[in-house]
């Protein structure tokens, strides 16, 4: 899969994107379950059991769009089921190159994947440098309970930063300063339980990122999971120079 630009990102659904860098396409955070067929998020592995949500609609809230899922490798920022689900285990080729956090490599191997490539700090694929970057999935003790999360920087002639499930905090700003990316993908939605503060970016986080970089800024993780309460319309109305794609939409530099 190639484009005229060195970088393009096509939103599939939630945080599932097809990120093409210098002609190589990475499938990021595959969520393939049909609409309404997942357990509620509070029943998911890795989510602290005391959490509850006001919205009990079953996930995903929307169907998988009709897109061409052609890719060269898979990247998983973390193993919460809205980023890597049972359907992905069934549908992905067992021998696909799969990049992940070191803490989660064994789980992919146990599921039958034969080319698991944990990224401690930096690696490469098709002459593209992949850097794993920090993330904080919420605030305080809740962030600790949500487990480790990562972002990834894809560095070639142009640079793409996919921040993953994180709030705005110093290491995200430091990543922007270090790599000076051309395009940034942020997970929005302001995911919120009935306990604690939001665990993904809301308007204030995204505006802080907008102020910190002149990159093309794209926000996904919207309107697909029942605890993501910030809508696309609200985000567009409260930000400037921020791209909020619909499911299936592709954005190029």
Domain boundaries, the chain: 7-252
pLDDT in tens, 108-132: 999 999 999 999 999 999 999 999 9
Residue 161: which pLDDT band, with cuts at 50, 70 and 90? very high
Topology at the third CATH level for domain 7-252:
Metallo-beta-lactamase; Chain A (3.60.15)
Supply the pTM of this predicted model: 0.95
Residue 56: which pLDDT band, with cuts at 50, 70 and 90? confident
pLDDT at 9: 98
DSSP result, the chain: ---SSSEEEEEEETTEEEEEETTEEEEES---PPTT-SPPGGGSTTS-TT---S--PPSPSSPPP------SEEE-S---TTTS-HHHHHHS-TTS-EEE-GGGHHHHHHTT-S-EEE-SSEEEETTEEEEEEE---SSHHHHHHT---EEEEEESSSEEEE--S--S-HHHHHHHHHH--SEEEEE-TT---SSSS-SS--HHHHHHHHHH--SEEEEE--SSSTT----HHHHHHT-SS-B-PPTT-EEE-
Residue 43 has pLDDT above 70, yes or no: no
pLDDT at 48: 76
Average pLDDT over residues 197-219: 98
pLDDT in tens, 165-178: 999 999 999 999 99
pLDDT at 39: 74
């Amino acid at each position: 899969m190639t484009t005229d630009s060195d970088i393009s990102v096509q939103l599939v659904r939630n945080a599932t994107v097809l990120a093409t860098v210098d002609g190589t396409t990475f499938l990021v955070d595959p969520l393939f379950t049909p609409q309404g067929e997942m357990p509620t998020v509070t029943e998911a592995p890795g989510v602290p059991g005391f959490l509850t949500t006001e919205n009990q609609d079953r996930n995903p809230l929307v169907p998988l769009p009709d897109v061409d899922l052609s890719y060269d490798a898979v990247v998983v920022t973390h193993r919460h089921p809205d980023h890597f689900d049972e359907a992905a285990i069934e549908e992905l080729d067992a021998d696909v190159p799969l990049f992940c956090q070191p803490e989660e490599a064994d789980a992919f191997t146990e599921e039958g994947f034969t080319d698991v490539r944990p990224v401690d700090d930096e690696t490469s694929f098709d002459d593209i440098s992949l850097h794993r970057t920090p993330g904080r999935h919420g605030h305080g003790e809740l962030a600790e309970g949500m487990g480790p999360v990562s972002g990834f920087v894809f560095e070639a002639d142009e640079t793409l930063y996919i921040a993953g499930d994180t709030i705005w905090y110093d290491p995200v700003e430091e990543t922007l300063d270090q790599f000076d990316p051309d395009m940034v993908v942020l997970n929005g939605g302001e995911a919120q339980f009935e306990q604690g503060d939001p665990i993904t970016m809301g308007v204030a986080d995204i505006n802080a990122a907008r102020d910190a970089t002149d990159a093309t800024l794209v926000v996904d993780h919207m309107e697909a999971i029942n605890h993501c309460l910030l809508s696309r319309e609200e985000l567009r109305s409260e930000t400037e120079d921020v791209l909020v794609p619909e499911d299936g939409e592709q954005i190029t530099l």
